[in-house]
Amino acid sequence: MEEKHLLLLFISLSLLAGAAMAKSTIEPCTGTDACPALLGYTLYADLKVAEVAALFQIDPVALLAANAIDIAVPDAENHILPAGLFLRVPASCSCSGGIRRSISTSYTVRPADTLGSIAGSVYAGLTSPDQIREANDIPDPADLDAGSTLVIPLPCSCFNSTDNFLPAIYLSYVVQQGDSVSAIAARYATTVTDIMTVNAMGSPSIRPGDILAVPLPACASMFPNSASDYGMVVANGTYAITASHCVQCSCGPGNLNLYCTPASLAVSCSSMQCSNSNLMLGNFTSQQTSAGCSVTSCNYGGFVNGSIVTRLTTSLQPQCPGKHQFPPVIAPPTTVLHDSFLAPSPSPAQAGGTVTNPRSSVPGTFGLPGVSPSSGPAGSISEASIVSPFCSCASMFPNSASDYGMVVANGTYAITASHCVQCSCGPGNLNLYCTPASLAVSCSSMQCSNSNLMLGNFTSQQTSAGCSVTSCNYGGFVNGSIVTRLTTSLQPQCPGKHQFPPVIAPPTTVLHDSFLAPSPSPAQAGGTVTNPRSSVPGTFGLPGVSPSSGPAGSISEASIVSPFCCILCLFAFSLVHFNFLY
C-alpha cells in the first residue's frame, strides 16, 4: 500500500535490419561480468562527500571525479555537500539471474527510519519500500531494528556501454515533479526518441518516481580484458581514477577519446613513462610532414596485474593537435543552483541536518569494473579508445575521413578507400581488422611510414612485461589518401596469425536455417533466389560511411546483416513506476 508497482510487459519480435532497436529497462545478460553505470542521486540532506560515497559503498574520490568536482581541494572527502544537490554516482552493474538489474548496497537502519524514508529520502527514489522488503525478507515493515543492516537494491543498465553504436554510459534517473522527457533529453544531450527507445516507452509520458535509463555520451577504453579496469567508460565532461589512484582519465569536451594522465594524488606508482621514449602518460609530440601530422603519444593501456600498461603510438593525422583541453572541474558545491541540472528539485528535507556515516567506504564493490578509483582532475590529459558496439567492430577514423563511423558486423567484411582496403570483423574478437583489398584497382601506398609493415601486418616480440606488438593499422580514408598508423602496444600474450571470418561463395540457394534467411521470405517461385543486389550502401545509416562493397576476390560481403547480436530479438519492454506515500 506504500507503493504502486506497475510493470508493463510487451514482447516483440523484430528482425528488421537497420530498424531502431528497442532496449528494455530489463536488460538480459550472461555471466557475472559487471559493467559501469551511473545512478542519478539527489541529496536528501547536507551530507559529506564520504557519507554519500558510503551510502553507495564507493570510493569518495571516484564520486568526485564522476562529477568533475576538483579532488585537489584540501580535505575534499569531508566537504559537506548541500541537500538537493544532484550527483552522478558511479556504480558497478552486475548480472544476476540473467538480468542486468541491480547494484546492491547496504544500509544501517537508524532510529525513526521507515522503509518509505529509506527508499524515498535516503536513496532518493532509486529503490522502493517493496524492493527493500523483498530483498531483506522483512515480515513486518513497521518493525525495523535500529542498527540492523539492510540490503538496498538499486537499478542499473549498461546495454553494452553503447547507444546507437557510440560509446555511452547509462544513468538511472528518477523522474522528478515537473520533468518531461523532452527536458530530460535536452539536459543530457540526447533525444526524446532515444530515451523512448532505450526505455521501450510507447509514449513520452512519465510520472514522478519513474526510473529512466538515460544514455550519456562517453569515452570507451580499450584495455585488454586481463586489465582490472577493463571496460572502463567515462561520461563526457567527467573524470575517473584508476590504477590504484595512479592514473586519471577524462572524457571530452572536444572529442570522445579517453585521455589518461598520471593522477595528482600522493600515492606511490609504478613508472608511467612509455618505454623507449621520454614521453609520460598523456604526453605527445607532433611533427608536420607533407602527408599530414605525425603524432606520437604515450597512452594508458590498462592496469594489468598491478602494473600500469603504457602504449607508444604513432599516427598520421590531418592536423597537428593543440594542447589537450580538459573538461572543466568545479569546486565542491556548497549551494544548490536552482536552475542547474545538478539540482533537479529539492527533495523533502529531513529532520536532523546531519547523518552519521553508516559505514566508511568499501571501494572495490562499486565503481567501474575493477577500477579502484580515486582521484582526479588536475593537470592535463588525454588518450584514445575504441568501442565494440553490439557484436560489431567499430572504426576510430577521424571525422575528416570519408569512411568515418564505419561499423562492420561480426563475421562480415566491408570495402572502403575506393576499393583499396577491406576490413573485417571477428570471429575471435571485435577489433576491426583492415588489410589491402585484393581487387585490381590502383591504390596509394599501404605501407606504414618508417616501417616495412603493410596494412594488417604485425610483428610481435615476447618481453618480460608481456608481448610487444607492433602493427600497421588502417586509420581511415582522408582526402583521397589511405591513412596508416603504426602502433606498438604491450599485450598479455603474443597474437597468432589473424583469423578471418569465413567467406562463402555467392549464394544461389536459400538456406532455411540460416540467419540470413529470417523467415522464408515469401518464397519466390523457382528454387533459387536471385541476389537482390549486392549491397545498397548508404541506406543503412552508418554515419558518413561511403561503403561500396563488393563481393569479389577473396572477400567482402556488404554488412547488410544487422550489427545487432540479438538473433531472436525477444525483448521485454517495461516501464516501471514507483510512487511513494510518505
* Contact residues for ligand NAG, defined by CB under 6 A: 27, 159-160, 189, 217, 226, 236-237, 252-253, 256, 261-262, 280, 282-283, 304-305, 318, 327, 379, 390-391, 400, 410-411, 426-427, 430, 435-436, 454, 456-457, 478-479, 492, 501, 565-566
> CA separation (Å) from 118 to 148, 295, 420?
13, 53, 62
**In angstroms, rounded to a whole number, what is the distance separating the alpha carbons of residues 58 and 369?**
12
Of 121 and 471, CB closest to ligand NAG: 471
**In angstroms, rounded to a whole number, what is the distance separating the alpha carbons of residues 28 and 159?**
9
Q: Which of 488, 477, 487, 483 lies closest to 289, judged by CA?
A: 483
| Residue 491 contacts residue 225 (beta carbons within 8 Å) | no
Q: Greatest CA span in the chain, whole angstroms?
A: 80
Least distance from ligand NAG to the Cβ atom of residue 84, Å? 23
Least distance from ligand NAG to the Cβ atom of residue 482, Å? 13
- CB neighbours (10 Å) of residue 514? 9
**In angstroms, rounded to a whole number, what is the distance separating the alpha carbons of residues 137 and 462?**
54
Least distance from ligand NAG to the Cβ atom of residue 453, Å? 7
**In angstroms, rounded to a whole number, what is the distance separating the alpha carbons of residues 573 and 437?**
43
Amino acid at 73: V
DSSP state of 506: P
| Residue 413 contacts residue 503 (beta carbons within 8 Å) | yes
Collapse the DSSP code of 2 into the 3-class scheme (helix H, G, I; strand E, B; otherwise coil) and give the result: coil
Least distance from ligand NAG to the Cβ atom of residue 479, Å? 4
Least distance from ligand NAG to the Cβ atom of residue 310, Å? 12
- CB neighbours (10 Å) of residue 239? 31
* H/E run at residue 54: helix 49-55
Cis link prior to 253 (omega < 30° from 0)?
A: yes
Of 305 and 462, CB closest to ligand NAG: 305
Percentages (nearest 5) of helix, strand, coil residues in the chain: 10, 30, 60
Of 117 and 382, CB closest to ligand NAG: 382
Least distance from ligand NAG to the Cβ atom of residue 189, Å? 5
398's grid cell: 577521424
Of 296 and 350, CB closest to ligand NAG: 296
Of 64 and 83, CB closest to ligand NAG: 64
Of 44 and 458, CB closest to ligand NAG: 458
Least distance from ligand NAG to the Cβ atom of residue 278, Å? 9
Hey, which residues does 317 pair with through a beta bridge? 293
Least distance from ligand NAG to the Cβ atom of residue 115, Å? 32
Least distance from ligand NAG to the Cβ atom of residue 151, Å? 26
Of 81 and 478, CB closest to ligand NAG: 478
Q: Which of 538, 574, 426, 530 lies closest to 18, judged by CA?
A: 538
> CA separation (Å) from 372 to 75, 245, 320, 543, 577?
19, 7, 34, 35, 34
- CB neighbours (10 Å) of residue 223? 22
Of 138 and 503, CB closest to ligand NAG: 503
Of 270 and 479, CB closest to ligand NAG: 479
Of 132 and 279, CB closest to ligand NAG: 279
Least distance from ligand NAG to the Cβ atom of residue 577, Å? 23
Of 117 and 250, CB closest to ligand NAG: 250
Least distance from ligand NAG to the Cβ atom of residue 236, Å? 4
| Residue 472 contacts residue 450 (beta carbons within 8 Å) | no
DSSP state of 329: -
| Residue 395 contacts residue 476 (beta carbons within 8 Å) | yes
